[in-house]
């Protein structure tokens, strides 16, 4: 049987022989992720490692111990409240289908959407059974930060607002929302309308915040001042959206020409209440949403932004596999380019000359 050398490990790891030597003898000179990858490669090739080398490696990083190309990866999809929308379900389905074509096992770990400060993540995250994580729809600051600290390869779909991108220990995928929301606002201002409102909890998710920035940018470029009374952007509990929206609409002394909603769910609740109040869309007031989610009755004729759920799931699958194969490469921030779908809800009929 051929004796395994440092060069063999270097060739299999895609690094130099000097780097292999540093990983074994000067661990502080290489990153934990790269060192772990090298140790896994050495073990899979049958290289006789000194037990002290393995012992010095953080336990969670040894989840790939003995892993070889013939052994399946075990990835966890970490999600909170996936049942709240078909939108999330479609992403999960395409993600699962894409990984099923690879040598990968996928588990789903559902976390609560709110927690106490003494909450502890399940043992599955720290017992060495997982190779990587895909994290989506987790917007609890406490949970997000706890997951971010785990020394495992990670891909995030969206993140909490306020966290610096450089502090995210993984790849970040975001739906582009600034330019698309700005385009919707511009579409309305070009028709001559200036009283434009916004509804969306911008402290909930980075994507919500960026859609609000797009709204503000659209107003600014049209020379329209931002009016605080036309913005519902504070924290909103998931079970109180309808009440908050109703109170917001009741607060207007003069109804806006248009309401930009951060999601189709918000657009559904807003449109529902406007219809109950006797307003016609778009004749009396215009409305837009985001996501192009056809599960809501009132949003099928609403201008929105189309997000390709299936392609998003495929991208997440490809990204976590790339991260597992190249753990020491720089983290990536990926914006998925979305497309505005203009519908009748933002186009008022021309006034009659009669």
Instruction: Looking at the structure, tell me whether residues 43 and 83 fall in a common domain.
Output: no
User: Which residues is 104 bridged to in the sheet?
Assistant: 73
Instruction: Looking at the structure, tell me whether residues 50 and 113 fall in a common domain.
Output: no
Among residues 60, 79, 70, the alpha carbon closest in space to that of 132 is found at 60
Instruction: Looking at the structure, tell me whether residues 100 and 170 fall in a common domain.
Output: yes
Q: What is the pLDDT of residue 82?
A: 67
CA dihedral 151, 154, 160, 164 (to 10 degrees): 70
Among residues 125, 176, 180, 205, the alpha carbon closest in space to that of 333 is found at 176
Contact partners, residue 334, CB within 8 Å, separation at least 6? 171, 172, 173, 174, 315, 319
353 belongs to a structural domain? no
Q: What is the pLDDT of residue 322?
A: 92
**Beta-strand (E) ranges in 159-201?**
171-175, 196-199
Instruction: Looking at the structure, tell me whether residues 297 and 314 fall in a common domain.
Output: no
240 belongs to a structural domain? yes
Domain that residue 205 falls in: 178-306+340-346
351 belongs to a structural domain? no
SS3 content of the chain, % helix, strand, coil (to 5): 45, 15, 40
108 belongs to a structural domain? yes
199 belongs to a structural domain? yes
Instruction: Looking at the structure, tell me whether residues 36 and 150 fall in a common domain.
Output: no
Q: Do residues 321 and 131 make contact, with C-beta atoms less than 8 angstroms apart? A: no
Give the integer Cα–Cα distance in Å for 339 and 130: 35
Instruction: Looking at the structure, tell me whether residues 313 and 284 fall in a common domain.
Output: no
Contact partners, residue 140, CB within 8 Å, separation at least 6? 80, 111, 112, 113, 114, 115, 160
Instruction: Looking at the structure, tell me whether residues 81 and 230 fall in a common domain.
Output: no
Q: What is the pLDDT of residue 65?
A: 44
1 belongs to a structural domain? no
CATH, residue 36: 1.10.260
Instruction: Looking at the structure, tell me whether residues 190 and 268 fall in a common domain.
Output: yes
CATH, residue 184: 3.40.50.2300
Q: Do residues 260 and 202 make contact, with C-beta atoms less than 8 angstroms apart? A: no
In the block, tokens 């109703």 appear at: 246
Give the integer Cα–Cα distance in Å for 91 and 309: 5
Each of the 354 residues of the chain gets a pLDDT tens digit; together they read 467 788 888 888 888 989 988 888 888 888 877 777 787 677 666 677 665 665 555 544 444 444 444 567 889 999 987 666 678 888 989 999 999 888 888 999 999 888 777 788 888 888 778 899 999 999 999 999 999 999 899 999 999 999 999 999 999 999 999 999 999 999 999 999 999 999 999 999 999 999 999 999 999 999 999 999 999 999 998 789 999 999 999 999 999 999 999 999 999 999 999 999 999 999 999 999 999 987 777 667 999 999 988 899 999 999 999 998 888 889 999 999 999 999 999 987 665 443
Instruction: Looking at the structure, tell me whether residues 298 and 234 fall in a common domain.
Output: yes
User: Which residues is 287 bridged to in the sheet?
Assistant: 259
If one counts the domains in the chain, the total is 3
352 belongs to a structural domain? no
Instruction: Looking at the structure, tell me whether residues 182 and 243 fall in a common domain.
Output: yes
Q: What separation in angstroms does the CA of 161 have from each of 113, 158, 201, 206?
A: 16, 9, 11, 4
Instruction: Looking at the structure, tell me whether residues 219 and 111 fall in a common domain.
Output: no
Contact partners, residue 7, CB within 8 Å, separation at least 6? 17
113 belongs to a structural domain? yes
Instruction: Looking at the structure, tell me whether residues 77 and 154 fall in a common domain.
Output: yes
Q: What is the pLDDT of residue 53?
A: 62
> Residue 108: enclosing H or E segment and its boundaries?
strand 104-110
């Amino acid at each position: 049987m051929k004796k395994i050398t440092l060069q063999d490990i270097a060739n299999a790891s895609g690094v130099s022989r000097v780097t292999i030597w540093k990983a074994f003898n000067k661990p502080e000179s290489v990153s934990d992720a790269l060192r772990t990858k090298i140790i896994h490669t050495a073990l899979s090739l049958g290289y006789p490692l000194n037990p002290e080398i393995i012992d010095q490696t953080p336990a969670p990083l040894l989840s790939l111990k003995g892993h070889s190309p013939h052994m399946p990866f075990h990835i966890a999809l970490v999600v909170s409240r996936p049942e709240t929308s078909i939108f999330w379900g479609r992403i999960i389905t395409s993600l699962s289908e894409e990984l099923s074509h690879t040598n990968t096992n996928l588990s789903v770990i559902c976390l609560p959407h709110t927690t106490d400060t003494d909450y502890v993540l399940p043992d599955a995250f720290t017992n060495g059974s997982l190779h990587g994580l895909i994290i989506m729809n987790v917007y609890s600051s406490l949970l997000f930060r706890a997951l971010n600290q785990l020394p495992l390869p990670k891909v995030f779909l969206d993140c909490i607002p306020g966290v610096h991108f450089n502090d995210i220990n993984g790849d970040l995928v975001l739906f582009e929302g600034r330019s698309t929301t700005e385009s919707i606002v511009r579409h309305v201002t070009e028709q001559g309308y200036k009283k434009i409102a916004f509804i969306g909890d911008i402290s909930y998710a980075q994507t919500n915040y960026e859609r609000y920035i797009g709204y503000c940018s659209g107003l600014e470029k049209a020379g329209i001042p931002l009016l605080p009374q036309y913005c519902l952007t504070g924290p909103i509990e998931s079970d109180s959206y309808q009440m908050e929206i109703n109170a917001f609409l009741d607060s207007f002394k003069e109804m806006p020409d248009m309401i930009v909603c951060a999601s189709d769910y918000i657009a559904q609740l807003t449109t529902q209440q406007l219809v109950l109040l006797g307003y016609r869309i778009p004749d009396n007031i215009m409305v837009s949403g985001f996501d192009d989610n056809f599960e809501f009755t009132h949003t099928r004729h609403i201008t929105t932004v189309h997000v390709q759920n299936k392609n998003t799931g495929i991208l997440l699958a490809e990204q976590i596999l790339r991260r597992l194969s190249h753990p020491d490469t720089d983290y990536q921030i990926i914006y998925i380019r979305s497309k505005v779908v203009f519908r009748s809800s933002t186009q008022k009929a021309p006034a009659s000359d009669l």
